[in-house]
Structure 1
Amino acid sequence: MERLNDNEVKEVARMQQMIDLYEGFICALHMMMLSEKEINYPQFTDTNFDKEMNKIWRWVKEHK
């Protein structure tokens, strides 16, 4: 088995962080869809889809 170098380890950690952010966003959307109460989510930054995520959040909030 080949060991990962430092750059590869950093890239894997960055990818896992992005997966965790997107998973949190999807879970928050789901909770908002099921809830009668106002739900806010933490502003995710450093993702490639910040603008898109904000648009999706606003659309779901308006149409639930």
Structure 2
Amino acid sequence: MSAAKKIKMMLLQREMTMAQLAGLLNKSPSTLSGKITRDNFSENDLKEIAEKLDFSCDIVFTDKKTGKTL
């Protein structure tokens, strides 16, 4: 599932609009909308969004050959 879809799901759970989230992030709604449309987020973006929506954000890398995570 894409990061953009997960963000939309978090917004639904919090009954919040993208414009409200943009305000919490001190970004314009059009800037946030563009990032969502392109699904273009840095790790820091994702952590900040999760924090503002009271979610945790854990990024895990899994070795496909061994199944071990980093």
Instruction: Choose 1 or 2 for highest CA Rg.
Output: 1
How does the TM-score come out when normalised to structure 2? Answer: 0.25
Determine which structure has greater relative contact order: mean sequence separation of CA pairs < 8 Å that are 6+ residues apart, divided by chain length. 1
